[in-house]
Every structure is written in structure tokens, then in C-alpha cells.
Amino acid sequence: MNDVQEKEPEILENLDVSEETSVHLTDEEIGDVIDALKAEDSDVVHSALDDLGPADIAELLEKIKQEDRDNLIKLYGHALDPSVFTEMDTELIRLTLSEMPAKQISGMISKLESDDALLLLEPLSPNLQQKVLRNLSHQTRATMEEGLSFAEDSAGRLMRREMVAIPEFWTIGKTIDYLRSASNDLPEDFFDVFIIDPAYHLKGEIPLSKIIRAKRSEKIMDLNLQEPHPIPADMDQEDVAHLFRRENIVSAPVVDKNNRLIGTITIDDVVDVIDKEAQEDLLRMAGVDQGDMYRAIISTAGTRFRWLFINLLTAIFASIVISLFDATIQEIVALAILMPIVASMGGNAGTQALTVAVRAIATHQLSATNTMRVIWKETLVGAINGILFAVIIGFTAAIWFSSPILGVVIASAMLINLLVAGLFGAGIPIVLNATGSDPAVSSTVLLTTVTDVIGFLAFLGLAAFFLV
């Protein structure tokens, strides 16, 4: 014990422990690489790339100018680990690889496991895909073509073909000997061994930890095998992520329609799916795409134009409602000053309810048993906040414009709009989801239209009735 205590300071001195571990490249580090690249100092660039991990190099490529990125790929692309490109944004993968010869892309794909290889192949144009496939070995080409045959965002696209599957009649000793002898053909990382019959039908799974603990003479079929969680190849990747989260599993087998084992999905893939889906839902609610940061200006503007055009139509509709009360507004100027308050509060309150509902749908927390309860709760929350803010804005408007009746009018409109915001904020995404539409895409536009129109109708209608 004393010897350990005496050596502890020496051990700690030899450890390179920084007070703060950075998970991102600093601007200085990026600048050093760019300076060396422009100075054509290949030794410095190679040294920098050797010191950086795949995720760091991917971050570097994402943050530098397109001109510098193209130059770096052209001069040093052959020295990059293929896994660098799997860490990049999908749109950036397409832009970067499209500048490479098909043979070079094929060489990178051949070094990757099937799920990562498919990540590089997916974003490419059909013409370039065919050129890349022609340069692959027969087996790798067949694997890639099978992967592309599955629907986008399905388990078949997500799964890895490399896996460990053994017959149920093997012993632990034979299994361990197989794992050692076939180490070059096994996936780089795996957590479970799948048990199959001669027809490759899934019979069970066993974690590596149980294999290590068991005696060599024990038969696989005599062990207490874990119940597998087979994933159909056509299952949506969001449902796959939900299954992993609910069952707390780190890997799962993928099966075809005949329950034959064809691949596996691991937790690292699922983490990427969760992150991707969360980003997509967030961006879609704002009418933008994930690749907008790297897409060409005209293309980005065109994509956003459609969304903004819909917003323009809804804004015109709200303006038409206002125009119905133009005489009232001309007579009482205070209405024009107070109108934005009602619309803004309704929009913000509705967005809160909408966000809760969209998240509940995405995480499968909503079903027929609790849908109405969620809508009712959000409506009540809107009503409670409506009462509170009605009191606040009512007193404020009454004092501001020396008109108690105006305070009552805006207070009533505030209550009505926040109640409606809660009802429609929760209800719109639920109805869209029930009809098969993506609630993250169009809920915001519909909600804004509802809160603006109801807010203006309530406020101006009450004003026309009580003040004019």
C-alpha cells in the first residue's frame, strides 16, 4: 500500500491531464492548418492531420472555406482516414466526394464497414454512384446495392452487415476459438453474438460478457439466452431509436420478412439517428434544411422561398381580417398600437404547446389513451396564462390610454387568444400526425395563422362592438 502511495505522485506527473478538455478545434488550430496549406508546407499539414482524430478533421473541413477545403482534399485526401467523411454533414459529403475520382471513393468505401460505407454512397448522384459501384469488388458491390434498395431512413439503410452469428449447437469453447481465428473477418466492435439455425433464422442472442464467463464445455443452447429484439429491415429509424431507448439495449439484430438475420444495429448508430432526427424536426419547424449551411445560395433561397410564400399567404389572410375593421382602427388609433401584443402573445403561447406535442409524438409518448388529456391540459394552461396576462395587459392599456373599456376589450381578447393557442398548439400537430403528415413541417404555419386570425378577430371584433 505504501509503495503505491509513494509512486502515485510520479504516476500523476507522467499523465498528460489538462484542466479543460476541448471537444472542438480552436480558431488558432484551424488557422495554423490553413496557413500551412497556403504556404504549401506539406510537413506541417501532414503533422497536423496525423495529430487530429477523424471527428476533428471533419470539423476542420466543415469550418474552412470551400476553396481551402477543395485544395486540402486534392492534395491530402489520399492520406485521410475514410472514417473522416462519415463524420461530416450529408450535404458536405456530397459536395466533397463529388470532386473526387470514382476510383478513389471506391477505395475508401472498401475500407469501411458496410453501414459507414453506405453513408458515403447515399448522398452521391445516381451517375456517380454507378461509377463507384463498378470499381468495387463483387461482394462489396452486392452489399451496397442491397443497402440502397431499402427505403431511406429505414433500418435496412442503418444496419451493419458485419456481425457475429453462430449455430445453437456450438459449445462455448468452439465459439471462443472461432472468434479468435476469424478476428480479421469480424466487425471492429460488437457486443452480442446472435444464435441462428441452419436457415439463418434468429433463435436468440448472447452477450460477450456471458460467453467469457461460461465454461468451454458448456453448449450455447444450454445457456440462458437473452430474448432478442429483432428489427424488421423496413422499420423507420425513429422507431428503431425508440426501441433502443425503451428496452435499454446496445445492439439489436435486423431481420428480413422471413425472420432471417441480415444485419445488426448498434447503439452508436442510434445515437446518430436521435441527433439527426432532433435536428431535422427543429429545422423543419423553421422551414430550413439540414444542408443549408453548405448548399449553394440560389438553391438555399429556392428551398426557403416555398416556405416563405406560404407564410406570405397566411399573412395576407390575417391582413384581410384586419381590413374588415379598418373604420374601427381609424377611429381608435390605440387599437393599431395594441394589436401586435395580442397576436404575439398568442403565437408564443401556441408555440410552447406545439413544441410539447411535437416532442411527445416524436418520442411515442402519445397514444389514443392520452391524446385528449394532453390537449385538455395545454388548453387549460393557455386559459390560466390567458387570465393572468389579461389582467396585466388590461390594467396597462386602461391606464395607458385612460380607457377602462379598452382595457376590458384587450384583456378579453388576450384570454380568448391564449386559450385558443393552447388548444390548437397541441391539437394541430396531433391531427397532422393522425393524417400521416409530418407535424414538424407545417404545424408552425397553421398555428401562426390561427393565433393571428383569432387574435385580430377577437380584439377588433370586441372593439367594434364595445367602443364604436
Strands (DSSP E) contained in 227-302 are 231-232, 251-255, 261-266
Calpha distance 445→437 (Å, rounded):
14
Instruction: Give residues with Cβ within 8 angstroms of 255, minimum separation 6.
Output: 202, 230, 231, 232, 233, 261, 262
Calpha distance 105→119 (Å, rounded):
12
What does DSSP assign to residue 232?
E
| Three-class SS state of 65 | coil
Among 273, 268, 205, which Cα is nearest to 239's? 273
Calpha distance 413→407 (Å, rounded):
10
Distances (CA, A) of 2 to 5, 10, 71, 370: 5, 14, 57, 62
Calpha distance 418→403 (Å, rounded):
23
Residue ranges of the chain whose pLDDT lies below 70: 1-23, 184, 224, 281-296, 468
Calpha distance 260→232 (Å, rounded):
10
Q: Identify whether the C-beta of residue 439 lies closer than 8 Å to the C-beta of residue 428.
A: yes
Q: Identify whether the C-beta of residue 158 lies closer than 8 Å to the C-beta of residue 86.
A: no
Among 412, 425, 428, which Cα is nearest to 381's? 425
pLDDT of residue 1: 43
Among 377, 468, 457, 357, which Cα is nearest to 417's? 457
Among 411, 361, 409, which Cα is nearest to 390's? 411
H or E stretch including 166? Answer: strand 165-167
Amino acid at 38: K
H or E stretch including 61? Answer: helix 54-63
How many helices (H) and strands (E) are present in the chain, helices listed first?
22, 6
Interior/surface letters 400-426, b for 16+ CB within 10 angstroms, e for the rest: ebebeebbbbbbbbbbbbbbbbbbbbb
Predicted TM-score (pTM) above 0.75: no
Q: Identify whether the C-beta of residue 159 lies closer than 8 Å to the C-beta of residue 170.
A: no
Q: Identify whether the C-beta of residue 413 lies closer than 8 Å to the C-beta of residue 458.
A: yes
pLDDT of residue 437: 79
What's the order of all strands across the beta sheet hosting 261-266? 231-232, 251-255, 261-266
Number of C-beta neighbours around residue 277 at 10 A:
17
Domains of the chain: 23-158 (1.25.60.10), 165-267 (3.10.580.10), 297-466 (1.10.357.20)
pLDDT of residue 16: 44
Overall size of the chain counted in residues: 468
Calpha distance 165→160 (Å, rounded):
13
pLDDT of residue 315: 80
